[in-house]
Structure 1
């Protein structure tokens, strides 16, 4: 039986794709590189990308 931690995280795209001046999407808060990397990234890398997105989103709200 697989552990739930082995499943790929949900893609954070919210279909509001527009990059800011730093090449960060204003919808999902991923960088252009992270967007391009997403489908080939490992589970652990995707989780790191999500954590980075959450931090960017929190910083943007301040």
Structure 2
């Protein structure tokens, strides 16, 4: 996976917080991810662990990659 994406291929949204259980992004953030500048993506990625903690969510483990 790219160092400029928090995606771990666990794409499930928490209905309470509207955050992805895998990466912590919202649907609008996921939708515009490819349009963001690198600095904006990196800044958002830096905020995701605290966002998940503040929301009371534990980040899920990445899905195993298929051979």
Q: TM-score, normalised by structure 1?
A: 0.69
- Please, what is the CA RMSD of the aligned residues? 2.2
Q: TM-score, normalised by structure 2?
A: 0.65
Equivalent pairs, count: 55
Higher relative CO (Cα under 8 Å, sequence separation at least 6) belongs to 2
Kindly name which structure, 1 or 2, has the bigger radius of gyration based on alpha carbons: 1
Give the whole-Å Cα distance in 2 for the aligned partners of 1:61 and 1:23: 11
Q: 1:3-35 deviations in whole A, cap 9, x for unaligned?
A: xxxxx8421100110001222000011111111
Give the whole-Å Cα distance in 2 for the aligned partners of 1:23 and 1:15: 17
